[in-house]
């Protein structure tokens, strides 16, 4: 049985990813600082199950304990989905040093810490899939998201370099770049739907992106049979960035 960790699984894309993996036969652990009860209920309704693990991805000790708990509970670990992230819309000249550091801690330090903790278990399994959720903003550079765009561009670099290092060990590293996807979190951040309409106007596919638009790509990248795909950033944004 293939075992997967999804960070930021309590809501939004992370919740959809965790449920999709559970529905497709993965044993899934959701990591989050928030309550994972709803994700667990959805996973059960989809015919799977979810191990809920409370963890702060910015804290090395919390991450190490959480990953060890998953490997101990399931007996192995094969897939890591680094999804946890924050994207506060702040004009650059109002971005404080604390704002900047907070975005980098969650969006860059988090994937580093989770991947570092998971790597010995992937090596022990003999294969692995590391999937970093980035964003189409790295191709578009929208306003008021300088810190977020910088963090996601850094995660693309992390993906490429780590893919080179781990390829000989049958461990792939790829990134998925969603466009603005309709989740409760995104709706709160964009306010009154204006952001969704602005982004939709840029797309070739003229509708708002939904979490289910991304799950088929996730399943493809995570599959054991996708071992020749690595170092890639797969843009799934309805064609707003022709990358």
Which uninterrupted H or E stretch holds 168? none
CA distance 152 to 144: 14
Whether residue 78 lies inside any domain: the answer is: yes
Q: What is the CATH number of the domain that holds 136?
A: 3.40.50.720
Q: Is 232 domain-assigned?
A: yes
HSE (CB half, 13 Å, CA atoms) of 106?
Answer: 19
243 occurs within a structural domain: no
Catalytic residue among 26, 87, 148, 220: 148
148 is a catalytic site residue: yes
Q: CA-to-CA distance for 240 and 66, rounded, in angstroms?
A: 37
Q: Which of 13-17, 111-115, 182-186 has the lowest mean pLDDT?
A: 182-186
Residue count (the chain): 243
Residue 180 lies in a domain: yes
Which residues constitute the domain of residue 56? 3-236
Contact 233, 156 (CB under 8 A): yes
Residue 242 belongs to a domain: no
Cα of 227 vs its chain's centroid, Å: 19
Residue 241 lies in a domain: no
Domain assignment present for 176? yes
How many whole angstroms separate alpha carbon 110 and alpha carbon 63? 9
135-160: per-residue pLDDT in tens?
Answer: 999 998 988 999 999 999 999 999 99
Within a domain: residue 57?
Answer: yes
Q: Does pTM top 0.85 for this prediction? A: yes
CA-closest candidate to residue 56, choices 76, 86, 27, 77: 86
Domain total in the chain: 1
pLDDT tens profile 206-242 = 888 889 999 999 999 999 999 999 999 999 988 887 7
Average pLDDT over residues 54-83: 98
Q: Which residue's entry shows tokens 């109002």?
A: 94
């Amino acid at each position: 049985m293939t075992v997967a960790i999804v960070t930021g699984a309590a809501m939004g894309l992370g919740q959809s990813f965790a449920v999709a993996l559970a529905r497709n036969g993965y044993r899934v652990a959701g990591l989050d600082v928030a309550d994972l009860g709803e994700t667990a209920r959805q996973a059960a309704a989809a015919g799977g199950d979810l191990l809920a693990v409370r963890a702060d991805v910015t804290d090395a000790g919390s991450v190490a304990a959480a990953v060890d708990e998953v490997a101990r509970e399931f007996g192995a670990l094969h897939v890591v989905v680094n999804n946890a992230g924050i994207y506060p819309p702040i004009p650059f000249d109002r971005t404080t040093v604390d704002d900047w550091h907070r975005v980098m801690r969650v969006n860059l330090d988090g994937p580093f810490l989770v991947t570092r903790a998971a790597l010995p278990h992937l090596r022990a399994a003999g294969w692995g899939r590391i999937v970093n959720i980035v964003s189409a903003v790295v191709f578009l550079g929208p306003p008021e998201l300088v810190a977020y765009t910088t963090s996601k561009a850094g995660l693309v670099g992390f993906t490429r370099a780590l893919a080179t290092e781990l390829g000989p060990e049958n461990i792939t590293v790829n990134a998925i770049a969603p466009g603005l996807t309709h989740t409760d979190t995104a709706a709160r951040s964009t306010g009154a739907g204006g952001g969704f309409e602005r982004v939709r106007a840029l797309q070739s596919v003229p509708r708002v992106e939904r979490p289910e638009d991304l799950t088929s790509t996730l399943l493809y990248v995570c599959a054991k049979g996708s071992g020749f795909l690595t170092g890639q950033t797969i843009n799934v944004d309805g064609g707003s960035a022709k990358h």
